[in-house]
Structure 1
């Protein structure tokens, strides 16, 4: 038997579709190979030859030697290339990336693709220096050593699209936040102190409702801090943040919060992560002029 590791480009494909695509075998033979178990995928739970199984990153696919594949892609190389495209700064101490929305910060039982695993695959020994929600995009920093992870990170700035218009163009948001039993953050006097500065960049109306693009600057770094401050203090929830109050029937529900980690100062260098295309598209849809270059 031969085997190959499943990479990013093949993850998500059904086992039968993968075999058809990569081997060029006829459909009848593909079905027979799966039915007899001559080809199969191996994951953390064991092996499967179900045609309905969807392949995941780092699965191993086993097949007889007589089957020829068209240049199989090795997962490690595939992931390394992908991660390199995200890098906006690197030196002997740190790696800084522009993380796409949808990529988890850390891996888990149900999470095959995560920023920390990709960083480790790129540079062995790299460590997370801070966290970013899975459905939020932007700057993430990794230290190449435990000493590097102690470097100060300053001027953490975010750009967010919110539903509504703040009463003031700029201001300070200070509350105490406490995690609920359900895992939400809520304003609570017995919680931890949280402080955020905000500034309105631009505002417009879409289908009669106001929307605004705001810049946020973190003073503290509590879990979901900006999301709670936008929704509960400003009364302007982030677009797409259904967990914290966004509700608009004119929008297709998607797994994306329109919050972007835009700026960070580390080692005396001010780094910026360009807004992703989906963020720019939402700005254009809502008529919000992009003031960031």
Structure 2
């Protein structure tokens, strides 16, 4: 990092402690050095001093000073300026993902396997690829929410600071609808339902676990689901809607009702279950559609993403036809 950065807290990071946020985003930063940065006011939240236990709110802006001396060697190498070829390659790759663009917003169809933000050992991620769109004034498009690395589909990018603030506000106040498609093991009963639990991070396994109300860092999570089609009692095509926006929420909730998402290596928990032939053992979760007020204050953004290749293969094998799906099925209550 060559200078001061400003990063916006995403909706699914709401409630996270400040020190944990740094651990996620800057794993090479030493704890002692972070404490010094906080103590001297070099790290700020919405322009104010903060301590390591500060709970973050969606939409808050973090001031981050240069941290290069504390990053691991491989991270420092990754921070070197990209060649023109790499920049052009990133621009082309992002342009190929575009589903919608105007003067304030870009809507991308993120492929499965591409990380949204950097981490230890990650050389390529969407946030870094957006550097290719930095303008002459140094303004770069900003991510306003996240998707898991293996989840494909809709992700919003703000082209201006105003757009980032308005979109983040919409997420924070839940003035948005996100619809996911998933392939689950078995068929949930009832066919339409509501899942409400508390979730907390399981540090030992880098996943979320069902928690009790009042546990440290436990957050309330609510998801809605609706079975669209099924293949006998083996598999079901399900629409899912996260009412809240917690990390791994849909994946943890599907496992909680004993119908985990196909290909989920963190949460699949059905014993003696065999994957049907012809179906790839990859996460079958698509951020299918987003409906959100346009940051200009006029109109609505309503964009849908197609099935990724591995999910389309499964749909074809099972005889499920996307053309038969009607958008009214997105109305999960």
Q: Same fold (TM over 0.5)?
A: yes
Following TM superposition, by how much is the alpha carbon of 1:278 offset from its aligned partner in structure 2, in angstroms? 1.7
Unmatched tracts of structure 2, length 5 or more: 1-72, 295-299, 327-333
The answer to which structure has the higher strand fraction is: 1
Task: Identify if the C-alpha distance between structure 1 residues 280 and 175 changes in structure 2 by more than 3 Å, giving closer, same or farther.
Answer: same
Structure 1 residue 163 corresponds to structure 2 residue 185: yes
Q: 2:241 aligns with which of 217, 221, 224?
A: 217
SS across alignment from 1:92:
coil
Q: 2:284 aligns with which of 258, 268, 287?
A: 258
Q: Structure 2: how far apart are the matches of 1:203 and 1:133?
A: 25
Task: Identify if the C-alpha distance between structure 1 residues 95 and 45 changes in structure 2 by more than 3 Å, giving closer, same or farther.
Answer: closer
Q: Structure 1: how far apart are the matches of 2:281 and 2:82?
A: 28
Superposed, 1:12-161 pairs within 5 Å as 44=74, 74-123=85-134, 124-150=139-165, 151=167, 152-153=170-171, 154-161=176-183
Cα RMSD, aligned residues only: 2.9
Q: Structure 2: how far apart are the matches of 1:117 and 1:60?
A: 10
Counterpart for residue 174 of structure 1: 196
The structure whose Rg is larger is 1
SS across alignment from 2:161:
coil
Task: Identify if the C-alpha distance between structure 1 residues 197 and 184 changes in structure 2 by more than 3 Å, giving closer, same or farther.
Answer: same
Give a deviation string over 1:199-233, Cα, whole Å, max 9, x none: 1110003xxx5100100111100000000111112
Q: Figure out how many residues of one structure are paired with residues of the other and give that number.
A: 228
Q: 2:310 aligns with which of 259, 278, 293?
A: 278
TM-score (norm 1): 0.70
Q: Structure 1: how far apart are the matches of 2:263 and 2:236?
A: 14
TM-score (norm 2): 0.62
SS across alignment from 1:186:
strand
Structure 1, 267-276 or 222-231: larger mean CA deviation: 267-276
Q: Is the 8 A contact 1:162 1:239 kept in 2?
A: yes
Unmatched tracts of structure 1, length 5 or more: 1-42, 48-55, 62-72
Give a deviation string over 1:77-121, Cα, whole Å, max 9, x none: 112111101001111211110000000011234111111111221
Task: Identify if the C-alpha distance between structure 1 residues 120 and 60 changes in structure 2 by more than 3 Å, giving closer, same or farther.
Answer: closer
The answer to which structure has the higher helix fraction is: 2
Counterpart for residue 203 of structure 1: 230
Structure 1 residue 229 corresponds to structure 2 residue 253: yes
Task: Identify if the C-alpha distance between structure 1 residues 236 and 58 changes in structure 2 by more than 3 Å, giving closer, same or farther.
Answer: farther
Q: Structure 1: how far apart are the matches of 2:104 and 2:178?
A: 19
Q: Structure 2: how far apart are the matches of 1:237 and 1:117?
A: 32
SS across alignment from 1:75:
helix
Structure 1 residue 186 corresponds to structure 2 residue 186: no
Structure 1, 266-275 or 241-250: larger mean CA deviation: 241-250
SS across alignment from 1:132:
coil
Give a deviation string over 1:251-288, Cα, whole Å, max 9, x none: 69977311000111121121111112221101223444
Q: Structure 2: how far apart are the matches of 1:184 and 1:107?
A: 18
Q: Structure 2: how far apart are the matches of 1:106 and 1:117?
A: 7
Q: Structure 2: how far apart are the matches of 1:188 and 1:257?
A: 24
Task: Identify if the C-alpha distance between structure 1 residues 239 and 246 changes in structure 2 by more than 3 Å, giving closer, same or farther.
Answer: farther
